[in-house]
């Protein structure tokens, strides 16, 4: 049973190119499946989340992170009476526009593009992927996803100014996105905050003492686990505390979003869109825990000296390959040389680099820049 404020597939604004209905899958289910079967989705397996494989094959990559976001999102959507199929499609596609090397690669691409009066934005790039770059169907370019999934790609994590992004006008930038899209940015934060604590601890960059000192909510939960399982290994107590932290964040998001919906008197998708601010959100105590965890990870993991050499190396690889192909476009693959005849060369080079996996970009750097 869907809530009154949930998106109903029968009310979808449809696809850019008309298609006959499928005999046993609705349009949001088909979108989910198209994302899963895309090349861009498969490439997430070899794109860095935080740790490269130099540390371990057990740590999250973009693909496993995406799967975790989808699992958390489905759970919350079901509790709130939202359209689970739409939520799952949005969760699976939310990181599809990220370049290799995680945020270091994104920073390097954006810096390179700004030198030419442009920029790199992974949400906008994701839209380009599903609208144009994926070639699977004879009838049209791209994946021909429904409006609701394309809108969620753009609006799930950022409110774009309509005056600054006229090319996105069709996505109702002056309105809030549906709750299905609003959830994704929050579940993304839950997933990476807890996962990065886990991977940072396993990588021996973060110690238990550091985490307990920096994240009081985790310390409390670890003490609870220690009392409940006094003879268990430290790592198992750590896992128990982390599980409880994740549960607390998920529960706080569900309960507070419900309260906000009731307080706002929202009873339709149109009411969600017209509300002056986003309605999905954490309770005050969970928001405090989220901020504390994020700040701790930022200062102790993401900016740690242990990860700095790899970030510098990643930025150098992206920068040098960008400059190489900008100065020697004849070395680009033929399909990108053709694109450069009708599109600005910096954008074409940026698109090529953004689609690469970590391994492939390192191979290209060895080939052209070593």
Verdict on whether the full-model pTM lies above 0.85: yes
Give me the phi and psi of 188, to 5 degrees please: -60, -45
pLDDT score for 370? 82
CATH 1.10.3210.10 occupies which residues in the chain? 9-309
3-state secondary structure of 38: coil
In this structure, are residues 42 and 64 in contact, taking their beta carbons and an 8 Å threshold?
Answer: no
When pLDDT is averaged across residues 99-115 and rounded to a whole number, the result is: 95
Percentage of the chain surpassing pLDDT 90? 95
**CB-based burial label for 62 (10 Å; 0-12, 13-18, 19+):** buried
When the pLDDT of each residue in the chain is averaged and rounded to a whole number, the result is 96
> What are the structure tokens assigned to 142, written together?
């791209």
- Provide mean pLDDT across the span 242-247: 97
| Residue 75 pLDDT exceeds 80 | yes
Residues 6+ apart with CB under 8 A from 58: 202
pLDDT for position 50? 86
Distance CA 145, CA 95 (A): 16
d(CA 116, CA 332): 19
Please give the Cα distance from 99 to 314 (Å, whole number).
11
CATH of 9-309, one of 3.30.420.10, 1.10.260.40, 3.40.50.10300, 1.10.3210.10: 1.10.3210.10
Residue partners of 270: CB distance under 8 A and separation at least 6: none
Is the Cβ–Cβ distance between 15 and 146 less than 8 Å?
yes
Question: CA–CA distance from 110 to each of 188, 200, 281, 358 (Å)?
Answer: 22, 27, 29, 17
Give the pLDDT band of residue 53 (cuts 50, 70, 90). Answer: low
CA 136 to mean position of chain CA atoms: 23
**Cα(128)–Cα(142) distance, integer angstroms:** 8
Q: What is the mean pLDDT of residues 227-235?
A: 97
Name the pLDDT band for 218 (thresholds 50, 70, 90).
very high
Q: Tens of pLDDT along 252-279?
A: 999 999 999 999 999 999 999 999 999 9
């Amino acid at each position: 049973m869907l809530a009154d404020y949930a998106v109903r597939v029968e009310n979808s604004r449809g696809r850019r190119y008309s298609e006959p209905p499928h005999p046993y899958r609705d349009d949001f289910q088909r979108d989910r499946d198209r994302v899963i079967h895309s090349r861009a989705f498969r490439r997430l397996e070899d794109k860095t989340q935080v740790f490269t494989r130099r540390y371990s094959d057990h740590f999250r990559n973009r693909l496993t992170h995406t799967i975790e976001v989808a699992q958390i999102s489905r759970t919350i959507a079901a509790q709130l009476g939202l359209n689970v199929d739409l939520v799952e499609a949005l969760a699976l596609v939310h990181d599809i526009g990220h370049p290799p090397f995680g945020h270091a690669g994104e920073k390097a691409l954006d810096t390179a593009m700004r030198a030419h009066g442009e920029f790199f934005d992974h949400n906008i790039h994701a839209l380009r992927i599903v609208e144009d770059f994926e070639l699977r169907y004879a009838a049209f370019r791209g994946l021909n996803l429904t409006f609701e999934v394309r809108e969620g790609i753009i609006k799930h994590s950022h409110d774009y100014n309509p005056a600054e992004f006229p090319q996105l006008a069709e996505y109702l930038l002056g309105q809030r996105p549906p709750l299905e899209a609003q959830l994704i940015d929050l579940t993304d934060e839950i997933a990476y905050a807890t996962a990065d604590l886990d991977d940072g601890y396993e990588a021996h960059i973060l110690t238990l003492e550091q985490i307990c000192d920096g994240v009081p909510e985790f310390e409390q939960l670890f003490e609870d686990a220690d009392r409940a399982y006094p003879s268990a290994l430290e790592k198992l107590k750590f896992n128990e505390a982390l599980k409880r932290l994740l549960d607390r964040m998920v529960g706080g998001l569900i309960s507070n979003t419900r309260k906000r919906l009731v307080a706002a008197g929202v009873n339709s998708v149109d009411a969600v869109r017209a509300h002056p601010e986003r309605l999905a959100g954490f309770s005050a105590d969970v928001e405090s825990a989220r901020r504390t965890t994020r700040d701790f990870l930022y200062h102790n993991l993401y900016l740690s000296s242990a990860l700095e050499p790899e970030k510098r190396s990643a930025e150098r690889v992206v920068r040098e390959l960008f400059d190489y192909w900008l100065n020697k476009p004849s070395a680009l693959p033929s399909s990108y040389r053709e694109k450069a005849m009708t599109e600005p060369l910096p954008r074409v080079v940026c698109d090529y680099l953004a689609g690469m996996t970590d391994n492939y970009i390192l191979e290209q750097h060895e080939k052209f820049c070593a």
